[in-house]
Amino acid sequence: MEEQTFVSKARTAFHSAAAKAERVLLDFKSDREDHDKQSSPNTFTGQQPEAESPHTNENDSKLRSELKHIKWRPPHLGIKQDWQDRIKNIRRGRKEVEDTDKVGDASMAVPFYDDNLYLLNMKNDLEAKASEAIPSVESLTAATKDPIPPSSVLKQLAIAVEAGSKAKSMKDLIASSGVSSPARERAGLSFSAVKALVLREKEDKLTSEFTSNEKVVQLINSLFDPEGDFLRRKINSNLEETAMTSLPRDIHGAPPESLVVKLAEILGNYKTLRKMALFWCRVVAELRKLWSEEQYLPGVPQNEIPDLKSCLLYQHFQVINCCISRKRFRIIATESLDSMMMQANSDIKESTDCCAGAPASPVLYARLNSGELVLRLGADHPAGDMTLLETGEPVYSPITQEGPLLTEDLIRETEEFVLRTGSVGAGCSQLLSDMQAFKAANPGCILEDFVRWYSPPDWTDNEASTEDSDVFDSGEPLSTRGQLSQRMQKEGNLWRELWETSKPVPAVKQAPLFDEDLALEGILNAFEDIHPSDLFGQLFVSLLGLGFAIAEPMLSSNSDFSKLFYDCKEYIIVACQNNKLNEKVDDLVQVYETVEKMLLDPEEALKMIRQTEESTMVTGEPRSPFRTLSLIFGGKDKLLRKSVSKDQTNDEEKSGRQSFSSFFDSKSSLFGKKPPKSGFPSPSAKSSIDTGWTVV
C-alpha cells in the first residue's frame, strides 16, 4: 500500500514536471516568435542596393596612383624642385598646410633632411589610406604567404579587447558611429582625423550596406566553406602532435586551423571596432542559418563533447556540430524504428492470411512466458550472451539517449544548482530514460535483468545455477539463480522505484534528456549578447596560440633563437592563464612581435638579442625570469583586489542563462532528495549537518 502511494505520488510529480517543462518550451517558442519579428527589418535592410563599391574602387585607384608617384620620384632633388612641387600641391588644393610649413622650414636648413621628411609624410599618408581598405578574401589570402599572421592583426584585436572592456555590448560598438576608432587616434595623423570627419556623415549609410557588401559576403562564404583552404598556413608536422596541440590548450585558446582562429584573423583585419562588431553579427546570422539547415561548421569536430581546455567560443562551436550530429542520428533512428513497425504490421497481416509464423529478419521479437510474441523496440545489439531471467530470451542492449553537452559555463551553473538544491535530477532522468529504453527492447524483463546489464557488480550469480545450467526448469524460483546486491535490495531503493515508474518507450520516442534546439538557442543568444572583451579576448588568445604553434617547429631547432622563443612561450602561457587578460594584451603583442621578427628579420632579431645580453650583463640579473616573476606577483595582487569584478562577471553570465535555470527548476520537484526516515538516527544527524552548513 505504501508502495502504491509512492507510485501515485511519483506519477503526479512526473506529470507536473512534464507540464512545467512544456510551459518552459512554450515560453521559449513565444520568445522565438518575437525574435523573428525583430529580425525581419534587418532582412529588409539587407536587400538594399550596394553603393559602397564605387567608393572602394575610387580608393583603390588613388592608392595605386600614389604608389606610382613614389616609384617615379627622381633622385637628388634640388631646392628648385622642392618649390615647384610645393606650388603643384597648392594648385591641387591639398589642405596639408601644416605639412607644407614643416617641409619649408626643413628645406631652409638641411636639404637632405627635407627629402627624407617628405618621403616619411608620403609613407604615413599611404599607411593611413591602406588602413581604410576593407579586408577581402584576396587580401587575406595574400597575407597567408607570411609564415605567421601579421602582428598588426593581433594588435587590432588587442585594441578591441581594451576598448571592448569599456563597452557594455556589441550593440554599443555598432551604435558608436560618432566616435572615431582608437586605431585612428593612435595613428595621430591629421589627415586621418579630417577624413574621419568627412566620413562621419556617410557612416550611417555604410552601416546598412555593410551586411550586403560583396567583400563581406565573400569573406563569410570562404570562412564557412567546408572544402576550402581559406587562411590555411603551412604547419610543420614534424613535431609530435601533443606538442603541437598543447600550447593552444595551455592558454585556453583554440586549435590551429579551427574556425575560431580563422575568425580571429578576419576580425583582426578590420580597422574599426564598429565593423568588427558588424562582421561578428553577420557571423552569428550565418550560424543561425547553418543550424536551421543542419549544416556542420567547418574547422570544428563534428561529434566531440566540448573540450574544456579550449576557449568557450570553441566549446560552443563544438556543441553546435554535436547537436547537428545528434539530430541527424535521431532522424535516422526514428525512420528505422517506424519502418520496422510498419513491416511488423504487414508481417502480422501476412501471417493472418497465410498462417506463416516466420518474421522477417530486421524485425525483432521476444517471446513472453505466455507464448505471445512482442515486438522489440529500439534494440541495438545483443548484450553478450545474457538471457532474460524469466523468459530465457536474449538480452538486447537498447539504443540509449546521450547525455547533456555541457560547456564550462553550463558546468559551473549545473554544479551550483546541485549544490543549492541537492537535486539528483540529472542522474535520475538518465537512469529512468535507460530503464524505459531497456524495457522497450526486452519485453518480459524484470529489474534484475536491467541491473545485470547496467550495474553488473550489483548482481551475483549462484554457483548452483551455473552447475544446473544444462537442466532448464522454468518453475525454479528466482532466488536460486542469483540475487541482487545487498545495497540494491535495500528497502526504499530509488532504483526499484524508478523501475516501477518506467514505461517501455524507445529512446528516440522519449522526451529528450538534452534538448538540442533549446541548447542552440541559448548559445546563439549568448553569441548575440556576448561582451566585446569576452569575444575579442578569446579571439586574441586563439590567434596568439596559432602564431606560436606555427613558429615553434621553425625556431626550436635554431640555436640562435630557441632560448628566446621558449622564454616568450613561457611568458604567454603564464600571462594567459592569469584571468586579467585586458591588462596583458599590450605586453603579449610585443612578445608576439619579437617572435615575428625572429622569423621575418633574423638579423635584426640577433642584434636585439645581443643588446639584451649586454644589458643583462650590466644589470647582473637575467631579464626573462625577472619579467616572469614580476608578472606572477603582479597578477596575484590584481587578482585579489579585483575579485569583485569577477563576481559581477559571473552574475552577468548567470542572467544570460535564465532559460536553462528554469529548465532545471522544472525537474527539481520530481527528483528532489528524499527526506531521511525518522526511524534512523544517523540520517537525521546527516540532515542536521547539511542544514547547518548550508546556512554558511
Partner 1 sequence: MSSSSGQSSGYDLSFKILLIGDSAVGKSSLLVSFISNSAEDIAPTIGVDFKIKMLTVGGKRLKLTIWDTAGQERFRTLTSSYYRGAQGIILVYDVTRRDTFTNLSLVWSKEVELYSTNQNCVKMLVGNKVDRDSERVVSKEEGLALAEELGCLFFECSAKTRENVERCFEELALKIMEVPSLLEEGSTAVKRNILKQQQQPQASEFGGCCS
- Contact footprint for partner 1 (CB under 8 A): 305, 308-309, 400, 402-404, 406, 408, 411-412, 414-415, 418-419, 424, 426-428, 430-431, 434, 454-455, 457-458, 485-488, 490, 492-495, 636, 639-640, 643-644, 646-647, 682, 685-686, 689-690, 693-696
Cα distances (angstroms) measured from residue 567 to each of 78, 230, 550, 571, 692: 50, 31, 16, 6, 50
The residue (of 330 and 496) whose beta carbon lies closer to partner 1 is: 496
Please say which residue, 431 or 598, places its beta carbon nearer to partner 1. Answer: 431
SS3 state of residue 143: helix
CB of 37 or CB of 641, closer to partner 1: 641
CB proximity list for 246: less than 8 A, separation 6 or greater: none
- Report d(CA 461, CA 171) in Å as an integer: 65
- The gap from C-alpha 374 to its chain's centroid, in whole angstroms, comes to 45
Residue with Cβ nearer partner 1 (177 or 414): 414
Minimum CB distance to partner 1 smaller for 189 or for 411: 411
- For 499-508, b where at least 16 C-beta lie within 10 A, e where not — what string? bebbebbbbb
Q: How far is residue 404's CA from residue 17's CA, in Å, rounded to a whole number?
A: 18
Shortest distance (Å) from residue 487 CB to partner 1: 4
Would you say 496 and 447 are in contact if contact means Cβ atoms under 8 Å apart?
yes
Q: What does residue 461 show for φ and ψ, rounded to 5 degrees?
A: -75, 145
User: How far is Cα of residue 285 from the mean position of the Cα atoms in its chain?
Assistant: 16
Looking at the Cβ atoms of 536 and 571, the one nearer to partner 1 is 571
Alpha carbon distance 347, 487 (integer Å): 45
By CB neighbour count within 10 A (0-12 exposed, 13-18 middle, 19+ buried), where does 440 fall? buried
C-beta of 273 vs 383, nearer to partner 1: 383
Residue nearer to partner 1 on the CB measure, 99 or 434:
434
Contact present, 395 and 386 (Cβ < 8 Å): yes
CB of 280 to partner 1, least distance (A): 27
CB of 665 to partner 1, least distance (A): 17
Least distance (Å) from partner 1 to the CB of residue 250? 9
Beta strands 459-461 and 482-484 are antiparallel
User: Are residues 549 and 572 in contact, defined by beta-carbon separation less than 8 angstroms?
Assistant: no
Provide, rounded to whole angstroms, the least separation between the CB of residue 430 and partner 1. 6
Shortest Å distance, C-beta 645 to partner 1 = 11
Least distance from partner 1 to the Cβ atom of residue 274, Å:
35
Q: How would DSSP label each residue in 659-693?
A: HHHHHHHHHHTTSPPPPPPTT-HHHHHHHHHHHHH
Indicate left, alpha or beta for 378 from its phi (over 0: left) and psi (-120 to 50: alpha): left
Q: Considering beta carbons, is residue 214 or 647 the nearer one to partner 1?
A: 647
Q: Of 204 and 491, which CB lies nearer to partner 1 in the complex structure?
A: 491
Strand partners, 396: 382
Residue whose CB is less far from partner 1, 499 or 561:
499
- Eight-class DSSP state of 73: P
| Shortest CB 413 distance to partner 1, Å | 11
CB of 546 to partner 1, least distance (A): 22
Residue closer to partner 1 (CB basis): 28 or 454: 454
| C-beta of 75 vs 692, nearer to partner 1 | 692
Q: At its nearest, how many Å lie between partner 1 and the CB of residue 410?
A: 8
| Residue 389 CB burial class (10 angstroms; 0-12, 13-18, ≥19) | middle
- Rounded to 10°, the helix 516-528/312-354 angle is 160
556/243 Cα distance (integer angstroms): 12
CA distances from 430 to 13, 313, 441, 568 (A): 17, 27, 17, 47
Q: Where are the beta strands (DSSP E) in 330-418?
A: 365-367, 373-375, 379-387, 394-398
Minimum Å gap between C-beta 411 and partner 1 is 4
Q: How far is the CB of 457 from partner 1 (least distance, A)?
A: 4
Can you read off the three cell numbers belonging to residue 651? 552574475
Inter-axis angle of helices 259-269 and 532-555, to 10 degrees? Answer: 110
Min dist. Cβ of residue 308 to partner 1 (A): 5
